[in-house]
Amino acid sequence: MNNSPTTVPAHKPRFAVFKCSDGRLQLVTKSLFRDGAPGHFFKIMNAGPLVPPYLFHLIAQRPFEVLAAAILKGVSGVRKLVLGTRFGQTPKAQARLERMVYGAHSALGWLAISGIYGAFRYAITAKGVRNVIILVHEACGAHEENLGPNGHDLWNRVIKRNAYDNMRKLKGLPQSRVVENWHLWYVSFSKRGIQQYNHTTQVWEVMSVADIESILGNKLNATSVAELFQEVWSDPSVDYSASDHEH
As a whole number of angstroms, the distance between CA 129 and CA 69 comes to: 21
As a whole number of angstroms, the distance between CA 193 and CA 112 comes to: 38
Dihedral, CA atoms, 123, 127, 131, 136, nearest 10 degrees?
-40
> Biggest alpha carbon distance in the chain?
73
CB 132 within 8 A of CB 43: no
Domain boundaries, the chain: 58-112
DSSP conformational letter for 191: T
CB 158 within 8 A of CB 50: no
Query: H-helix or E-strand containing 165?
Result: helix 155-170
CB 55 within 8 A of CB 117: no
Contacts of residue 29, defined as CB under 8 A and 6 or more positions apart, other chains included, come to: 19, 135, 187, 228
CB 101 within 8 A of CB 81: no
Query: H-helix or E-strand containing 100?
Result: helix 91-112
- pLDDT for the residue 156: 92
φ and ψ at residue 192, rounded to 5 degrees: 50, 50
As a whole number of angstroms, the distance between CA 10 and CA 38 comes to: 7
- The pLDDT profile of the chain, 247 residues, written as one tens digit per residue, is 445 556 777 788 899 999 999 888 888 888 788 756 567 899 999 999 999 999 999 999 999 999 999 999 999 999 999 999 999 999 999 999 999 999 999 999 999 887 899 999 999 999 999 999 999 999 999 999 999 989 988 999 999 999 999 999 999 999 999 999 999 999 999 899 999 999 999 999 999 999 999 999 888 888 899 988 887 776 655 554 444 445 4
- pLDDT for the residue 213: 92
- pLDDT for the residue 239: 52
Half-sphere exposure of 189 (CA within 13 A, CB side): 22
